[in-house]
A and B are shown apart, each in its own frame.
Chain A
Amino acid sequence: MKKFTVHTGTGVPLRRSNVDTDQIIPAVYLKRVTRTGFADGLFSAWRNDPEFVLNNPAFAGGTVLVAGTDFGTGSSREHAVWALQDHGFAAVIAPRFGDIFRGNSLKGGLLPVQLPIDAVETLWKLIEHDPTTQITVDLVEREVRADGRSWSFELDDFTRWRLLEGLDDIGLTLRHEADIAAYESSRPSFKPSIATT
């Protein structure tokens, strides 16, 4: 995974709440077996609307998506994270995230930043007033900065360290292989197992 330390870029104001992962990328794009190439599916239904924010040239090149509450609810599809990253987003700021989407983002290095609704509202106004506003998402300081203001956000130390170092979870877990083997040796015999051929 690519390291995430400090990112600075322009923002895209998505003034919508309850943006479920079916909107981020509809199921029809999930038939692919690759891990990249999902940018064309990003918000594909909404992009048919010329008024949709991603169709506004003023916000082209934005790398920080600022959305309403309950972003990424619904389906577990990690393709939603891949589509946002393929489009160029490095971070998403919202008042609340769907749990699975948030977890998937942290696995893939797309930083989900939870800020209160009034901070999000301020960021929306800043970006809409001046689309070239630079937004800094600083994981080292756990802080978002824009227009001379700053807002701190929470992320647990372990996840922060993993992102700062760009570490792969599987590699980290396999350091504890002996613990896994020890646990397995004591599992009750009534636990189900599936016949393999």
Chain B
Amino acid sequence: MGRTLAEKIWDAHVVRSAEGEPDLLYIDLHLVHEVTSPQAFDGLRAAGRKVRRPDLTLATEDHNTPTDNLVTIADPVSRTQLETLRRNAVEFGVPLHSLGAAEQGIVHVIGPQLGATQPGMTIVCGDSHTSTHGAFGSIAFGIGTSEVEHVLATQTLPQTKPRTMAVTVTGALRPGVTAKDLILALITQVGTGGGQGHIVEYRGEAIRDLSMEGRMTICNMSIEWGARAGMVAPDETTFAYLKGRPNAPAGADWDAAVEYWRGLATDEDAVFDTEVTIDAGAVEPFVTWGTNPGQGAPLSGTVPVPESFADEAARTAAERALSYMDLTAGTKLRDVEVDVVFLGSCTNGRLEDLRAAAEVISGRRVAEGVRMLVVPGSAKVRAAAEAEGLHEVFTAAGAEWRFAGCSMCLGMNPDVLTPGQRSASTSNRNFEGRQGRGGRTHLVSPAVAAATAVAGHLAAPADL
């Protein structure tokens, strides 16, 4: 029987396999940031261990960094955490892109940008959105701090093989519908636990048609429906994206790599443990109304009536979410007014995302009373956007043009919602308080974010 993409990569990374034990998997790339690493480095020090492969380890600063300047970290606790990473990087010889460096940025934006994320790899990071890197046809997943320490010390991880799942996206996305709308619609269809215990391969015509940026958006949010990892088979789009990047193979290595990558696709006779199908043609611009990413609806719809959910837990959760979100069942989603629009994050902070939003906002103004933050995913994305003049489009519209970082995705740096504020956000989580205590988040695509900023209420570009 044939093997799936995930199985081929898994098999190629088994260092040791024994009956009744998890496989010991080799890790090709370990990404590190300041939040989930300090206790891991402490553990190494306490045990007198070294980082086994600093050359397969890449660190950046992103979660705590300010986005209004590149010098002053006002919060002393954040500063200490960043300084701790800097000291650990020097002590253990780990390459680090610090605040202000040309390659600094969100960990899941810089890996692909450097060409360090490639097909057929195993990639881990102490961050659940590591699934982003699966867009290149790699097995990429988030780990906790104990596992970070384990990978630093051994460059391996004991892992039980997850089940495999295929998500087949049939047909084509309609004009104006994006990868973000597709993944939000999928999560509402399958629920936040739908992918639990699985590595998911996204397949089908609509996935093949996506750019690498779009595929990264899809894979990024795999964790939001509980999947261990998400992936897309590598193809010409993948190779074209990678060629010539700093860490991509060159010369004879490039040819050998491409030949290997071409053989990774799921065999025709391979069988997935679980299969899900979604019709791309039926997807509309999609937004969330609740406090988990599975509580979403088409923008053309209304805030649901909790009684409409058959499942008791879902009904209770919806009641609680409407109360937290201060929404009334039956309200048209287009009538929901926002205070803040956040464009950025590892989900939608890449150049293509900024271009999509700029196209909508060009020549228009951010609505009176609305604050819009535009936060590039990396310093390189920021520079590339400026080279195209995108920053001028945003600032002319009245938006704030910021430096790179996680920013308002997670309420850990100065960019936060204040209690009661409502945002339209291109990030990945609408959990209670995620963007700041008491803040209310609606997840949206970059195009919907831009249209919402102009309209002052949830809106699609076609509404303007």
- Out of B63, B127, B149, B253, name the residue touching A190 (CB < 8 Å): B253
Interface locus among A3-11, A51-59, A142-150, A173-181? A173-181
Q: Are B313 and A69 in contact (CB under 8 A)?
A: yes
Give the residues in chain B near A77, CB-CB below 8 Å. 35-36, 144
Q: How large is the interface on B (under 10, 10 to 19, 20 to 34, 35 or more residues)?
A: 35 or more
The 0/1 profile, CB within 8 Å of A marked 1, for residues 243-271 of chain B is 00001110001101100100000000000
Q: Which residue of A lies closest to B259 (CB)?
A: A190
With an 8 A cutoff between CB atoms, is A74 at the interface? yes
With an 8 A cutoff between CB atoms, is A99 at the interface? yes
Interface locus among B210-218, B338-346, B427-435? B427-435
Given A31-B412, A170-B49, also A100-B143 (CB < 8 A) = yes
Measured between C-beta atoms, what is the minimum distance from B62 to chain A in Å? 12
With an 8 A cutoff between CB atoms, is A76 at the interface? yes
With an 8 A cutoff between CB atoms, is B452 at the interface? no
Given A99-B226, A174-B154, also A197-B28 (CB < 8 A) = no
Which B residues, 122 to 144, have Cβ-Cβ distances below 8 Å to chain A?
126-128, 141-144
Q: Are A22 and B429 in contact (CB under 8 A)?
A: yes
Interface locus among A85-93, A102-110, A122-130? A102-110
Given A176-B16, A192-B28, A194-B116, also A74-B145 (CB < 8 A) = no
With an 8 A cutoff between CB atoms, is B389 at the interface? no
- Out of A35, A45, A193, name the residue touching B39 (CB < 8 Å): A35
Measured between C-beta atoms, what is the minimum distance from B443 to chain A in Å? 13
Give the residues in chain B near A138, CB-CB below 8 Å. none
The 0/1 profile, CB within 8 Å of A marked 1, for residues 59-103 of chain B is 000011000000000010110110010000000011100000000
Give the residues in chain A near B362, CB-CB below 8 Å. none
With an 8 A cutoff between CB atoms, is A27 at the interface? yes
Q: Are B193 and A194 in contact (CB under 8 A)?
A: no
Give the residues in chain A near B196, CB-CB below 8 Å. 70, 96, 98-99
Q: Are B128 and A75 in contact (CB under 8 A)?
A: yes
With an 8 A cutoff between CB atoms, is B228 at the interface? yes
Given A70-B193, A96-B196, A180-B155, also A190-B411 (CB < 8 A) = no
Which A residues, 140 to 197, have Cβ-Cβ distances below 8 Å to chain B?
156-158, 169-170, 172-174, 176-177, 179-180, 183-184, 187-197
Q: Are A193 and B316 in contact (CB under 8 A)?
A: no
Given A76-B36, A158-B21, also A183-B128 (CB < 8 A) = no
Give the residues in chain B near A30, CB-CB below 8 Å. 35, 63, 412
Rounded to whole angstroms, the CA-CA distance of A158 and B24 in the bound complex is 13
Give the residues in chain B near A174, CB-CB below 8 Å. 153-154
Rounded to whole angstroms, the CA-CA distance of A104 and B247 in the bound complex is 31
Q: Which residue of B lies closest to A103 (CB)?
A: B144
Rounded to whole angstroms, the CA-CA distance of A69 and B141 in the bound complex is 22
With an 8 A cutoff between CB atoms, is A63 at the interface? no
Given A22-B429, A192-B115, also A33-B150 (CB < 8 A) = no
Residue among A69, A70, A195 with the most chain B CB within 10 A? A70
Interface locus among B50-58, B167-175, B371-379? B50-58
- Out of B42, B55, B142, B432, name the residue touching A196 (CB < 8 Å): B55
Give the residues in chain A near B248, CB-CB below 8 Å. 192
Give 7 A-B pairs besides A45-B432, A78-B126 with Cβ atoms closer than 8 angstroms.
A45-B433, A73-B226, A78-B39, A104-B145, A169-B146, A180-B154, A183-B15
Q: Interface of B with A (CB < 8 Å)?
A: 15-16, 20-22, 24, 26, 28-29, 35-36, 38-39, 42, 47, 49, 52, 54-58, 63-64, 75, 77-78, 80-81, 84, 93-95, 115-116, 118, 121, 126-128, 141-147, 149-150, 153-156, 158, 160, 162, 192-193, 196-197, 223-224, 226, 228, 247-249, 253-254, 256-257, 260, 292, 313-314, 316-317, 320, 410-412, 429, 431-434, 437
26 sampled A-B residue pairs with Cβ under 8 A? A17-B314, A22-B433, A26-B411, A27-B434, A33-B81, A33-B84, A74-B128, A75-B128, A98-B226, A99-B196, A99-B226, A103-B144, A170-B49, A170-B154, A173-B158, A176-B15, A179-B16, A183-B26, A188-B256, A190-B249, A190-B260, A192-B28, A193-B55, A194-B57, A195-B95, A196-B94
